[in-house]
Amino acid sequence: MSLKKAFAIVFLILLIDQCVKVYIKTHFYLGESIQVFGWEWFQIYFVENEGAAWGAQLPGEYGKLALSLFRLIIAPLIGYWLVKSVKENAPKLLVIAVSLILAGAIGNIIDSLIYGVIFDNSTTSQVASFMPEAGGYASPLYGNVVDMLYFPFIKNATWPEWLPWIGGKTFTFFNAIFNIADMAISTGVGILLVFNKKVFPKTEG
């Protein structure tokens, strides 16, 4: 697989990810949700994530800064891996997986790096505006990641009473809210794990 095609995958994922995020940020109130096609199990639900992927968070201001810096360090390393894989004629599936992971990493880096500068706050009563005159809501590296994809396949179900600790408690499956960049990363990692023997073939001798 050529480097041109690999970068095309990265660019396409980034374009879709950022277009969706900017639209949600500038058209939805924080916490606003809509059902897609009227399906309760597929919702666009706008939240802002101050931490890692899939809604996970790191505590404190320094935790957020550390995560942003980690993203900035790891993305070039993934990019190097991608270029190296293409030059060494690695399996096509490996190149696709690394391309997806790189696109997802850059997508969330953009949020944390500049969203705090180019947008003002999203609240439950205010939709954010682009390039506000009063300035953004945070310094570079302190922006929040925009999440919006929500698939609550099972809502308000109850664990059986006989289960220890959780018996009788309600739960929702699947409860994470995420974005397209997260999906790209997870898909790429999934390919590496599921098709491990194909993407990392053993060399004879």
Residues 151-197: tens digit of each pLDDT: 998 887 888 889 888 888 888 888 889 999 999 999 999 999 999 98
- The pLDDT of residue 60 is 57
CA distances from 109 to 7, 14, 23, 105, 119 (A): 17, 11, 18, 6, 15
- The pLDDT of residue 130 is 95
- Catalytic residue (one of 17, 111, 120, 182): 182
Pairwise CA distance, residues 114 & 106, whole Å:
12
120 belongs to the catalytic site: no
- Catalytic residue (one of 17, 111, 120, 147): 147
17 belongs to the catalytic site: no
- The pLDDT of residue 166 is 87
- The pLDDT of residue 132 is 93
- The pLDDT of residue 51 is 61
Buried b (16+ CB within 10 A) or exposed e, 167-203: eeeeeeeeebbbbbbbbbbbbbeebbeeeeeebeeee
**DSSP E strand boundaries for the chain:** 33-36, 39-49, 145-150, 154-158, 170-173, 177-178
pTM value > 0.75 = yes
Dihedral sign computed on CA atoms, order 148, 188, 53, 41: positive
Token reading at 196 = 């491990």
Regions of the chain where pLDDT drops below 70: 51-63, 203-205
Pairwise CA distance, residues 11 & 28, whole Å:
25
- The pLDDT of residue 1 is 87
- The pLDDT of residue 163 is 87
Token reading at 36 = 């897609």
